Structure 1
Amino acid sequence: MFLTFLLLCSALLHAQDIPPKNETNLPKTTQDDTLTVILKPVIDEVNEKAQDTVKTDTIKPEKETLTDVVDYYGEDYVLLNRKENKVYMYNKAYIIYGDMRIDAGLIILDYNKNEVYAKGIDSAGVYSQRPVFVQANNKVEPDSIRYNFDTEKALVYNSRTEQNGFRVIADVTKKVNDSVVYLRNVKFTTSKNIDDPEYYFYTRKAKFVPKKKVVTGLTNMYIADVPTPVGLPFAYFPLTEDRTSGFIIPSFGDNNSRGFFFQNGGYYFAISEYLDLSLLGDYYTNGSYALRGETSYALRYKFKGNVSARFEKLVEEERGFPNFSETSIYNIRWSHSQDTKSSPSSRFSASVNIGSSKYFSQSINQTNNASALVNTLSSSISYSKSFEGEPQVNLSVAATHSQNTNTEAISMSLPNLNTSVSRIYPFAPKDGVKKGIIQNINFQYDLSAENRIQTTDSLFFKSEMFNSAQIGAQHNIPVTTNFKILKYLSASAGTNFRETWVLKSTRQRYDQAINNGLGGIVKDTVSGFESYRTYNFSTSLGTTLYGLFNFGKNNKIQAVRHVVRPSISYNINPAFDRYYDEFIIPETANEAAGEVVEYSRFENTLYGPPNKVYSSSIGMSLSNTFEAKVRDRDTTAVEPKKVTLLNNLNFSTAYNLAGDSLNWSPLQFTGSIPIVPKLDFNFSGSLDPYALDNNNQKIDVFNIDNGGSLFRLTNANVSINYSFSSKDFDGSGKKDLDRTENETFRNGGRPDDLFGDATDIYDGQIYKEDDEDVDKTNIAWYNYKIPWDMRLAYTITYGNSQRQNEISSQSLMVSTNMELAPRWTVGVSSGYDFKNKGVTLTQFRFQRDLESWQMSFNWTPIGSINTAWYFFIGIKSSVLSDIKYDKRRESDKQL
């Protein structure tokens, strides 16, 4: 009976299957559980109308517990407890509901309360697999968490989250909804090491609105877990992914001559994603002030640029005192670049740097020594357009500006026009292969027109600057051809026709009535159209010769090749004396007869007068290059290494056939000798074949005939520039940095630190925020490998044109930087003037990367313009960039 009972039960019963992972175990409804009742409707003819009416059910159906699919998983097990109506997931568990996801070591899903509880796994005293709560773009990493599906509220313990560069650590976090989160015992920091931050802001209570703001109560700053006196009764931290407008906190201090001040305070306008604007200002209690505005704009794949305008009112001493002075200086910069792919046939660019000549040396808010050494300010705004076709026409319109900060002289071309037509070969065959003199004849057309203004700094932007404006245009039509002679000689010949237009000319006359009756020459400027035409002829002949010297493959130097490129040219420039006029100075007591003065009405015009003297000259040049094949040190190399021994050793001179004396021109020479990679020895000079008389004036006697050598070395120059680093010796190479946005470079100076470097006083950024992929928390010392770099610049100039036989200038500039430790960098820029026997501008730099902070100290103890120091310490993150301290001592501008 017992066996029969087991057999019957085994036929009627079956075991419950274990639910597969990642699937929700909900009871299924089968056909057997459904009771179906079919009722035949009874229709009454009287109540037929009432039976056809369907009434709306007034009882609302009960809202479903979960409105979305719940997906959950556990690595070790997923346990469904039907009695408690809970689901337990253990080890690498997760649960997904809508846009919410929780990963943790242990997750408990409670269907009674519609809640989920997650925490980590505590094994042998090690708490691992902490919960990770992600909803939309928000991510929280707490110790444990409770989340309600109905209210979408959450209670988080010991949470860690990041919002727009902020890292937030809170003991208890209560998520009310998607917009509001309350926190208790909160730490705010930008440190990468969230478990042990080197600094943080601590508050007991805070309200957190994701992607908008954080509002706190009493907030205190901690450094290395030590509270500091820095505290606020409340704090407001804006959190936005996009740029937002806001105030820029100024820095405070005092100055010996101007009193107390605040600097670089103002407002930032986030106008749009393509444009922004910063307005900053300084104020000193003695009345000095400065205003600065800067805007940046960019349109992807189109163009980008920035504009800045700076104005300063400088007041020295106090009103009523003898040394009181009041001056105004300004500077305007504009940089614009266009993407080459946006418009291949047209291009617009701008590089503007104009202002007061003394701005960089007198500015009250300028700590850049290299900018103060800039001697020339230059600007250029240009637009070019190419018209495709045959021939192609190129058009460009530009405005240029050049300003000497020492002499305060300004030269402007406002505007200038250049138009050219590409070369036209009228006799070229249709197949495109040109041979001989006739087929290679070509001509083109060039037009250049200009309105040039010469003025000074004091008259800039005033009506007087336009009084001396000169307007003119030149038309050029060159006709050239080239051909071969005896297969190896390349010959060319050409002529050029030029027509010059001016709108102002000069008339000269002698007036006896001026200078109290003594008489004098009067120059009158006459407005009106004038023109003159000139032409010339030139021809040249050249070839290339190769000399090869083989020494055998067994020698270290296997072969030497000498490349010689001689050329000779002939030029004729006719005399155009018909464009010259004459007037007579009457006879005086000292002059028996009147003096005839010859002048051209085109003197002092834009392009000057035409040639008055006929010239016919022969020019000669010789170019040399020496190269060698050297056995490679690498034994696996198949081919020898090519080395340049002497690069472009050039000689050039000319002989004037039409001259009556001093026919030979000085022999000019230039060359470059490569010493090591990236180090070239550049030299140039001039050799004069004629001798000097006792008054050191050149005479028509060869120097060798006067008891001297064949040539006199009249001037020479040698320059060496070398830049190298430790990476050049370990084989890793060095990546060139793009420093076009460097403040010194934008001011017109060098982009490197050869004349010193400085922290930008507007933001103080030296080190950028650490890369997320780079862990700098445990960096070992360098031991014997210390990264370094060095730049050298040496120049010497020799002069002996009048037997002075002296070194006119000789200087050596050195700049080096060294990383003593992974976060310590020291640098120095200095030099020595051998002519004046003194140390040139010297700067010492000390920079420290303090992980979340940065510190720098720049000191200039020696300098002809600036001797000052500048100290800065602040937070790297742009979110808290206003938390900083800077102090500097300005140089005495009067000295």
Structure 2
Amino acid sequence: MRNKTIIFFLLSAVMFAVASREVSSSRTTPRRMVNDSIEVAVDSLIRNIKPTTAPQSITLDTIGMDSLARAIYMHNKSVDDSIRADSLQRMKSNGIESPVTYSANDSLVYDAESGMAYLYGSSKVDYQAMKLTSDKVSIDMAKNTVTAIGTPDSTADDGQKGRPLFSMGKDEYKSDTMAFNFKSKKGLISGVYTKQEDGFLTGERAKRDSSGVIYIQRGRYTTCDAPHPDFYIALSRAKVRPNKDVVFGPAYLVVADVPLPLAIPYGFFPFSKKYSSGFIMPSYGDESTLGFYLRDGGYYFAINDKWDLKLLGEIYTLGSWGASAASNYRKRYKYSGSLLVSYQDTKTGDKGLPDFTEQESFKIQWSHRQDPKANPFSSLSASVNFATSSYERNNLNSMYNPQLMTQSTRTSSVSWSTNFSSIGLSLSTTMNLSQNTRDSTIQLTLPDLNINLSRFYPFKRKKAVGKERWYEKISMSYTGQISNSISTKENRILHSNLLKDWKNGMQHSIPIQGTFTLFKYINMSLSMNLNDRMYTRKVMRSWDNTRQTEVRDTTFGFHNIYDWRMSVSASTKRYGFWTPNRKIFGDKIQVIRHVYTPQVSFTYSPDFSTPFYGYYSSYQYTDANGQVKLIDYSPYQDEIYSVPGRGKTGMVTWDISNNIEMKIKSDKDSTGFRKISIIDELGASMSYNAATDFHKWSDLSMRLRLKWWKNYTFSLNAQFATYAYELDANGKPFVGNHTEWGFGRLPRFQGMSQNFSFTLNPEKLKKWFGPKEDRDNKETDYDDGPDTKIESNMDDDMERGKHAAKKNNLAATDDDGYMNFSMPWSITFGYGITMRENTYGKFNTATMRYPYKFTQTLNVSGNIRISDGWNINFSTGYDFENHALSMTTASLSRDLHCFNMSASVVLAPYTSYNFTFRCNAATLTDALKYDKHSGITNAVQWY
């Protein structure tokens, strides 16, 4: 009896110790319990020893089990096997078709009699395509159901730890409580949360049917990804077809937890990832000259994944209407582009009255880009932006965009090129269009074909032996061009004649060059250019004495003219170094270097206006005073490539350039040096034409460029006239043949031009007026050495401060413990001044000078970020000619995380405003928006 008592106590102690122990997952070995039915991988398994009404179980540690517990387990194994066999038979009869795999990090309780399994701690259940994770999971094998729930946890972001996450295929749902049936694939969800494309859907209660459709009661739909959304659409009932759409009943908008009186009886949101066709809802409003309107409504055709089509229309109550077609196309690794064609019929005023006008206008935009990987030898690109001059004036969108209204020039181009790398030949053709919307002038070139042959050396030996011969350095190339162009009004372009109105021709250019070195220091270059022009017509002129008018006779045929010129140039570089006296200047300055670059060239070309060439002609006429005059002209002067110039050329040109730099010790590194530019360039050029008898000397041109600051270059160009003014018999000034040069007297100053641009921001102010350590870094404004500091971007500074504050959930502070205040801003000033002789002014006969005229331009633009999300931009200027402000605009934008608000105003030269408030998500950008703006005709008046 005593031995039995001891065995009973030992058995009880072992069972208590094993059952109460928390087993680590590292000591657990996955174990198959039922063949092909249930796979269990857990830390600790609790099994019933015998069927009872209340769970009486022990915990089996598969590794740390002692011999006594192992004996007890083997004694009861036959009982467990019979229970599991009955449970497996019930599950198969209820429709379980595949193994149910479940695991838990903490523990698992399995009741063999009722077929219930309880999982605790990061539990996972997998059945076919269904996956479920939760902190607590219970599985009823008899009813084929699984129930999951999270654990309340105040430290978690959403107040729960291990919320149930259910996924089947591509569908994924998060909830508070979830129940799912394996056999019927139906589920009941409480507090559901799911993401569909750009939107997030939540609901208090939801049911899932066997096809995956979810029925939600009291739901919310939003595109805001914040845990507490800034806005949402409250849905009384909704039906969700995953990856397709959401259909809902009565709904209203809630912004910042405030319900708004914006409700709809029903609606839907599409979620399809594929393109889908559908109607585009129009916008409505009124315009004082056009009336009430419906615009930007139509239909979208999702043709396929490579291209689409959008048809839009607009209609106004006073009779105006418009239509447009837009298409986007893209073929991966081949090409991409877009096309827009728009037509407008604008009617203003009352029909039958004098103020009634009707204008037809259209616009074509085409953008095409070829992928570089598509064809390395051929490419096609297009950038077409053509519109009639009345289109932007009549287009409602242009009224709210001052940039479109002030745009006076439009350019378009389409180009294609190919090359034959084996022979160095390339072909390219372009279509160029320049349009002036102010006077409706069009300049069109179609086509413009170019043929280029790369430089080659015709005298170079294939197998060179020894040194390179002088004639082997001679090279040549070829360039050919065929053009067909016209300049006319836009309403005449389609009625023009190809031969009479268009200019066409062909041009050939063959440059021959050779570069040599003389005396090791002089670089000499010889060149000769041959140019040939081919035209299809010429215009002969004569004088009709009867009608006292010029007569032009155009003849069509093949006409060829050519010219040539040769030149020789020599240049070298001279270096000078000066080391300052250490006793006077100290050891800060190491050396000063001066680079002197002289260049001399001689150019020669014959006089192609002589009768030998036949490029020029003349006729006589008698004026009203009876004087006979001779008029010289060229029959080809109006052609596309013009005509060779008059006069013989024997010109000598010289040019001098100077550069001065200083090398000093770096303030940051005692062993380092940095370079400072004193004068980046100081140069002058002039020429002398020995082949002419009048004005042999050209004007003197001087240039100065300074780089004393890192982000700014000062440049100045000045012109000095060589020849002085003289007075004719009537007392009118003209440029004579006497020079202005004299002892102690400079030539006449004709003018100069200078542009200045400067950007001011907090970094520069801190560098100038901040602490000493910041002012010491001001050398980086002009330093280009290895220790150059790059100024930070305003956006980067804001992001850096934001992340620093989020890192420890504390506001960023400075060295003194105060919270950092950051308001990034920048202001850019642009000033340009031009000084030139005013030949329309009054001539001063005492000084023999015209007065000087100054032309000035001033532009100011800037931006300021009040806080994260608030941005203010402005731009203005001053017109010194009209003594008024130039185009002045200001805009304010606010990023509301998932909403965006912007307001802009134009103050000069006319006034208008524009206010927009819309959702950022593409799904709701057209549905949730508010626009308020004024046109030019009904713009607000500022007093």
Q: Per the alignment, do residues 344 and 467 of structure 1 end up closer, same or farther by CA in structure 2, a change over 3 Å counting?
A: same
C-alpha distance in 1 between matches for 2:197 and 2:497: 55
1:838 to 884, 887, 892: 884
2:633 to 588, 591, 599: 599
Does residue 273 (structure 1) correspond to residue 308 (structure 2)? The answer is no
C-alpha distance in 1 between matches for 2:139 and 2:389: 75
Q: Per the alignment, do residues 27 and 4 of structure 1 end up closer, same or farther by CA in structure 2, a change over 3 Å counting?
A: farther
C-alpha distance in 2 between matches for 1:805 and 1:361: 41
- The farther-off stretch of 623-632 and 547-556 is 547-556
Does residue 191 (structure 1) correspond to residue 224 (structure 2)? The answer is yes
Does residue 200 (structure 1) correspond to residue 227 (structure 2)? The answer is no
* Cross-structure match for 1:809: 855
* Cross-structure match for 2:374: 342
* Cross-structure match for 2:574: 545
* Cross-structure match for 2:493: 460
C-alpha distance in 1 between matches for 2:319 and 2:749: 58
C-alpha distance in 2 between matches for 1:482 and 1:700: 38
Does residue 156 (structure 1) correspond to residue 189 (structure 2)? The answer is yes
* Cross-structure match for 1:740: none
Does residue 786 (structure 1) correspond to residue 820 (structure 2)? The answer is no
* Cross-structure match for 1:762: none
Residue type of the alignment partner of 2:614? Y
2:748 to 703, 712, 718: 712
C-alpha distance in 1 between matches for 2:293 and 2:168: 48
Does residue 372 (structure 1) correspond to residue 405 (structure 2)? The answer is yes
CA contact (8 A) 1:582 1:596 kept: no
C-alpha distance in 1 between matches for 2:804 and 2:384: 39
C-alpha distance in 2 between matches for 1:218 and 1:302: 47
C-alpha distance in 1 between matches for 2:134 and 2:763: 46
* Cross-structure match for 2:553: 524
2:208 to 175, 191, 195: 175
* Cross-structure match for 2:674: 641
2:875 to 825, 829, 832: 829
* Cross-structure match for 1:798: 835
C-alpha distance in 1 between matches for 2:717 and 2:154: 79
* Cross-structure match for 2:112: 82
- 1:559-574 matches, within 5 Å, as 559-574=591-606
* Cross-structure match for 2:932: 887
* Cross-structure match for 1:747: none
1:91 to 104, 107, 121: 121
Does residue 619 (structure 1) correspond to residue 653 (structure 2)? The answer is yes
TM-score by length of 1: 0.85
Determine helix, strand or coil for the equivalent of 2:923. helix
* Cross-structure match for 1:871: 915
Determine helix, strand or coil for the equivalent of 1:458. coil
* Cross-structure match for 1:109: 139
* Cross-structure match for 2:684: 651
C-alpha distance in 2 between matches for 1:736 and 1:881: 28
Q: Per the alignment, do residues 286 and 185 of structure 1 end up closer, same or farther by CA in structure 2, a change over 3 Å counting?
A: same
Determine helix, strand or coil for the equivalent of 1:579. coil
Deviation at 1:349, TM superposition (A): 1.4
- 1:51-450 matches, within 5 Å, as 63=93, 65-122=95-152, 127-194=160-227, 196-366=228-398, 367-389=400-422, 391-430=423-462, 435=468, 437-450=470-483
Deviations for 1:651-710, whole angstroms, at most 9, x for unmatched residues?
Answer: 2221111121211111223343224222222322321122112433211122245x9941
Deviation at 1:547, TM superposition (A): 2.5
C-alpha distance in 1 between matches for 2:36 and 2:209: 35
Deviation at 1:203, TM superposition (A): 1.9
Deviation at 1:498, TM superposition (A): 1.8
* Cross-structure match for 2:590: 558
C-alpha distance in 2 between matches for 1:364 and 1:381: 29
Determine helix, strand or coil for the equivalent of 1:365. helix
Residue type of the alignment partner of 2:834? T
Which structure 2 segments of 5+ residues have no match?
38-73, 80-90, 768-788, 796-801, 813-818, 840-848
Deviation at 1:395, TM superposition (A): 1.1
Deviations for 1:289-330, whole angstroms, at most 9, x for unmatched residues?
Answer: 333333222223322222223333332222233332222333
C-alpha distance in 2 between matches for 1:409 and 1:25: 89
Q: Per the alignment, do residues 109 and 499 of structure 1 end up closer, same or farther by CA in structure 2, a change over 3 Å counting?
A: same
* Cross-structure match for 2:782: none
Deviations for 1:607-658, whole angstroms, at most 9, x for unmatched residues?
Answer: 122233212111122223333324333237x422223333344422211111
Greater RCO, CA 8 A, separation 6+: 1
Does residue 488 (structure 1) correspond to residue 524 (structure 2)? The answer is no
CA contact (8 A) 1:455 1:465 kept: no
CA RMSD, 1 decimal: 3.6
Residue type of the alignment partner of 1:103? T
- 1:626-775 matches, within 5 Å, as 626-635=660-669, 638-694=671-727, 695-705=732-742, 709-722=745-758, 733=791
C-alpha distance in 2 between matches for 1:699 and 1:82: 120
CA contact (8 A) 2:598 2:656 kept: yes
Deviations for 1:175-200, whole angstroms, at most 9, x for unmatched residues?
Answer: 10244111111111111224x22211
Q: Per the alignment, do residues 83 and 580 of structure 1 end up closer, same or farther by CA in structure 2, a change over 3 Å counting?
A: closer
C-alpha distance in 2 between matches for 1:203 and 1:4: 70
Percent sequence identity is 27
Deviation at 1:825, TM superposition (A): 0.9
Number of aligned positions between the proteins: 823
Residue type of the alignment partner of 1:674? K
* Cross-structure match for 1:41: none
Deviation at 1:795, TM superposition (A): 1.3
- The farther-off stretch of 411-420 and 301-310 is 301-310
CA contact (8 A) 1:704 1:710 kept: yes
* Cross-structure match for 2:34: 26
Deviation at 1:86, TM superposition (A): 0.8
C-alpha distance in 2 between matches for 1:708 and 1:497: 44
Deviation at 1:580, TM superposition (A): 3.9
* Cross-structure match for 1:847: 893
C-alpha distance in 2 between matches for 1:732 and 1:91: 52
CA contact (8 A) 2:335 2:371 kept: yes
Deviation at 1:521, TM superposition (A): 2.3
C-alpha distance in 2 between matches for 1:550 and 1:227: 80
C-alpha distance in 2 between matches for 1:262 and 1:806: 57
Residue type of the alignment partner of 1:520? T
Determine helix, strand or coil for the equivalent of 1:461. helix
Deviation at 1:582, TM superposition (A): 4.5
C-alpha distance in 1 between matches for 2:838 and 2:685: 18
C-alpha distance in 1 between matches for 2:360 and 2:419: 43
Determine helix, strand or coil for the equivalent of 1:697. strand
Residue type of the alignment partner of 1:853? F
Deviations for 1:523-565, whole angstroms, at most 9, x for unmatched residues?
Answer: 1111111111221111111112222333469544433323232
CA contact (8 A) 2:288 2:938 kept: no
Which one has the bigger helix percentage?
2
Deviations for 1:855-876, whole angstroms, at most 9, x for unmatched residues?
Answer: 110000112xx42111100111
